[in-house]
């Protein structure tokens, strides 16, 4: 298995009027540009997972996600690129949509699973693939120590030291990895994690689980807009206005909520004047495919 493209993304500064008024500088790490389909934190979380599978002689990835899962699509694309088989357990009733079409197009076989069974992922894996010596369990969203290890490498790409670093959170793996990276490079940058699901306070424990209890972060759990993949007209308007003003495409599931949090905190004078803020664009643009009606 050869990884024949670099994992690197540029940082660019944007200049919203609000931040100029407050004396703040806002930068975006464009992880959405890493790869068209294996974009953002998905490739970072898959890198060492795939290397572990390789070291164990496994060539059959078995993973999990919802019907519009960016992780399923990224895993399907990565498996296709590197000559692996891929199976995706899809939460809920059988459906057909653009994301799953792309998963199938890349050769992923999909198994639709009711929500109760889906909660027991390790059991599902054992029931279906326990006797398959080639099968390798890949947790939903790439959540794992290996996933955090890949995300930690983001820090070494940064061109300068920032006062604050923000990322959206679904499992906490990306935030934990970045936190580890900041520690490894002895940076005082404060990490801010924005859970995108309701009652996301537990994300703090997940971050510490993959970062050896490091607590150099803040959790902003009030920007979920009703729950995972939930939106409001206010959030949709923000996504539209941000994309129009910057030319940077974002979606309302992850990066949109994280950036909304930054803008809202800035409006409340959360940051001192002269502060440098870095937002991580974690990709996931295909999440827009399930929300087209909301943007009409």
DSSP category for residue 185 = T
DSSP lists the bridge partners of residue 15 as none
Task: Please answer whether residues 134 and 58 qualify as being in contact, where contact means their C-beta atoms are separated by less than 8 angstroms.
Answer: yes
> Count of CB atoms within 10 A of residue 296's CB?
4
| Rounded Cα–Cα distance for residues 235 and 28 (Å) | 19
Pairing outcome for strands 190-195 and 217-219: parallel
Q: Which residues contact 261 (CB under 8 A, 6 or more apart)?
A: 166, 192, 194, 220, 223
Q: Is 188 a catalytic residue?
A: no
Angle, helices 233-246 vs 255-267, to 10°: value is 90
What are the CB-based long-range contacts (under 8 Å, 24+) for 223-227? 223/194, 223/195, 223/196, 223/257, 223/258, 223/260, 223/261, 223/264, 224/195, 224/196, 224/197, 224/198, 224/200, 224/257, 225/252, 225/257, 226/198, 227/197, 227/198
Task: Please answer whether residues 65 and 188 qualify as being in contact, where contact means their C-beta atoms are separated by less than 8 angstroms.
Answer: no
Check 9, 39, 55, 69 and give the catalytic one.
69
Q: Catalytic site residues?
A: 69
């Amino acid at each position: 298995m050869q990884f024949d493209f670099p994992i690197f993304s540029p940082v660019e500064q944007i200049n919203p009027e609000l931040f100029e008024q407050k004396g703040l500088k806002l930068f975006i790490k464009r992880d959405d540009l890493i790869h068209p389909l294996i974009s953002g934190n998905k490739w970072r979380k898959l890198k060492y997972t795939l290397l572990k599978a390789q070291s164990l002689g496994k060539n059959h990835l078995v993973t999990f996600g919802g019907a519009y899962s960016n992780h399923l699509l990224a895993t399907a694309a990565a498996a296709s690129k590197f000559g692996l088989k891929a199976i995706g357990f899809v939460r809920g009733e059988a459906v057909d949509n653009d994301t799953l079409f792309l998963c199938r197009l890349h050769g992923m076989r999909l198994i639709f699973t009711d929500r109760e069974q889906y909660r027991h992922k390790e059991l599902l894996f054992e029931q279906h693939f326990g006797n398959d010596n080639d099968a390798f369990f890949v947790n939903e969203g790439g959540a794992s120590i290996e996933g955090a290890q890949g995300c930690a490498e983001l820090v070494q790409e940064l061109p300068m030291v920032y006062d604050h670093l923000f990322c959206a959170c679904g499992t906490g793996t990306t935030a934990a990895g970045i936190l580890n990276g900041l520690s490894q490079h002895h940076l005082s940058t404060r990490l801010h994690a924005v859970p995108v699901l309701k009652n996301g306070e537990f994300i703090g424990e997940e971050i510490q689980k993959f970062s050896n209890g490091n607590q150099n972060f803040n959790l902003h759990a009030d920007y979920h807009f009703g729950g995972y993949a939930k939106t409001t007209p206010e959030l949709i308007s923000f996504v539209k206005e941000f994309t129009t003003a910057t030319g940077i495409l974002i979606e309302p599931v992850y990066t949109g909520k994280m950036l909304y949090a930054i803008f809202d905190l800035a409006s409340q004078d959360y940051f001192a004047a002269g502060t440098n803020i870095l937002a991580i664009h974690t990709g996931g643009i295909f999440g827009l495919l399930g929300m087209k009606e909301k943007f009409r």
